Amino acid sequence: MQGSSERAGATLTTHATPILAEADRLMTVCNSCRYCEGLCAVFPAMEMRRSFSDGDLNYLANLCHGCGACYADCQFSPPHEFHVNVPRTMAIARGESYARYAWPRALAGLFERNGLAISLACAAAVTVFVAGFVAWHDPAVLFASHEGPGAFYRLMPHNWMVGIFGAAFLYAVLAMAMGARAFWVDIGRPQAGLREVGQAAHDAARLRYLDGGGVGCMNEDEKPTDSRRVYHHLTFYGFLLCFASTSVATVYHYMMGMEAPYPWYDLPVLLGTAGGLGIVAGPIGLLAAKKRRDPALVDRERLGMDVGFLVMLLLTGLTGLALLVLRATPAMGLLLALHLGVVFALFLTLPHGKFVHGLYRTLALVRYARERRLIAEGKAGET
């Protein structure tokens, strides 16, 4: 992308990085053209501006859902000399923005080496769990059958599980909260109320802007499909159901004195099974959709980050479902160690991988909802 800001129509504005300069150039071209204004939220938000600060461009990059429709529709896309490729430019700018907002700062580089970081963290976590089990007990415990309430805690005490996973979860929440704060400051600390948050949550929950203006996402064969949105829904709602399962199990344990594992018809198992199926089917579908995607749209440098996160979700679902099916057999100990290791690594890497896209995109939608409301009320120019 080096030097691309010197292509036809380039602006002379100074930006922190070459990709932001390129995004500025493209937004200036698009602002003159406006052919794509009905496709998504990015173009209407762009039209509210005449110039673009780094914060504006990071906002627009995170508002983009990467459907590819504006590339397929563009009369200035390569080989035209204007070389307009909004989806890929926004994808790279978006990926770079994740590192920019990262907390702690020392870990910002993980966004560049994410696939490797996830694999190493996962392998280390599984090894520690298995070694911890074996060291804590007679190694035979790991390969024995355990049944009835409290069976899992014969391998690892419940309080240890809560302490270790609670710490990893709190770290993930703190790191993402700090990242969200940095993003909000960068995009100008817009004022936003419950109405904007509600609108953004509604748009994010439906993936309203991942539909390419109504036809679906673009693929290499130029036949748009809605499969990315469907598989993304399966993944996202599967993840939420797994979280709900864990929350209900926590209530069972502390408020009702009922210890896991629970019967198959009980709420934590039903929620966990549905969620597990979602985070198996969704990532498989998204990985397959990646193969069909037009390479011109893809940020190849961060492909490992996307794939790493999807593989971690897939492993979480597979190990969780295997544990459910085989929990009354001697395989339970090893499967529990594997599942806990994968989930622990997933928690630790949440703030340093693809998961953060949902956070920044939702915040960008909050700002967009605010801007739309101000325009509707005739107060454009306020923030």
Across 357-367, b (16+ Cβ under 10 Å) vs e yields: bebbbbbbbbb
Residue 66 near ligand SF4 by CB under 6 A: yes
Nearer Cβ to ligand SF4, position 76 or 103?
Answer: 76
Nearer Cβ to ligand SF4, position 23 or 155?
Answer: 23
Q: Is 245 exposed, middle or buried (0-12, 13-18, 19+ CB in 10 A)?
A: buried
Among 23, 30, 336, 359, binds ligand SF4 (CB under 6 A): 30
**With contact defined as beta carbons under 8 Å apart, do 297 and 87 qualify?**
yes
Residue 68 near ligand SF4 by CB under 6 A: yes
Amino acid identity, position 99: A
- HSE-up (13 A, CA, CB side) for residue 117: 22
Return the residues of window 155-174 that contact ligand SF4 according to CB under 6 A: none
Binding mask 202-241 for ligand SF4 (x = CB under 6 A): -------x--------------------------------
| Cα 239 to Cα 316: distance, rounded to the nearest angstrom | 10
Phi, psi for 217 (deg, rounded to 5): -85, 150
Binding mask 241-270 for ligand SF4 (x = CB under 6 A): ------------------------------
Nearer Cβ to ligand SF4, position 36 or 93?
Answer: 36
Strand partners, 380: 382
Nearer Cβ to ligand SF4, position 90 or 242?
Answer: 90
CA 43 from chain center: how many Å? 23
Q: Is 255 exposed, middle or buried (0-12, 13-18, 19+ CB in 10 A)?
A: exposed
Rg, C-alpha atoms of the chain: 23
* Nearest approach, Cβ of residue 183 and ligand SF4 (Å): 18
Nearer Cβ to ligand SF4, position 228 or 352?
Answer: 228
Binding-site size for ligand SF4 (CB under 6 A) equals: 25
Return the residues of window 34-63 that contact ligand SF4 according to CB under 6 A: 34-36, 39-40, 42
* Nearest approach, Cβ of residue 126 and ligand SF4 (Å): 37
Q: Determine the interface stretch with ligand SF4 among 66-74, 340-348, 356-364, 373-381 (rule: CB under 6 A).
A: 66-74
Strand partners, 382: 380
Residue 19 near ligand SF4 by CB under 6 A: no
**With contact defined as beta carbons under 8 Å apart, do 333 and 322 qualify?**
no
Residue 298 near ligand SF4 by CB under 6 A: no
Computed from CA positions of residues 266, 270, 273, 275, in that sequence, does the dihedral angle turn out positive or negative? negative
Among 13, 17, 18, 33, binds ligand SF4 (CB under 6 A): 33
Nearer Cβ to ligand SF4, position 70 or 130?
Answer: 70
Among 74, 323, 343, 356, binds ligand SF4 (CB under 6 A): 74
Our CA dihedral for 311, 317, 318, 319, rounded to 10 degrees, sits at: 110
Return the residues of window 75-134 that contact ligand SF4 according to CB under 6 A: 75-76, 84, 86-87, 90
Q: Is 161 exposed, middle or buried (0-12, 13-18, 19+ CB in 10 A)?
A: middle
| Cα 105 to Cα 344: distance, rounded to the nearest angstrom | 21
Q: Determine the interface stretch with ligand SF4 among 27-35, 172-180, 225-233, 250-258 (rule: CB under 6 A).
A: 27-35
**With contact defined as beta carbons under 8 Å apart, do 354 and 305 qualify?**
yes
Q: Determine the interface stretch with ligand SF4 among 26-34, 163-171, 265-273, 336-344 (rule: CB under 6 A).
A: 26-34
Q: Which parts of this chain interact with ligand SF4 (CB under 6 A)? A: 29-30, 33-36, 39-40, 42, 64-70, 73-76, 84, 86-87, 90, 209
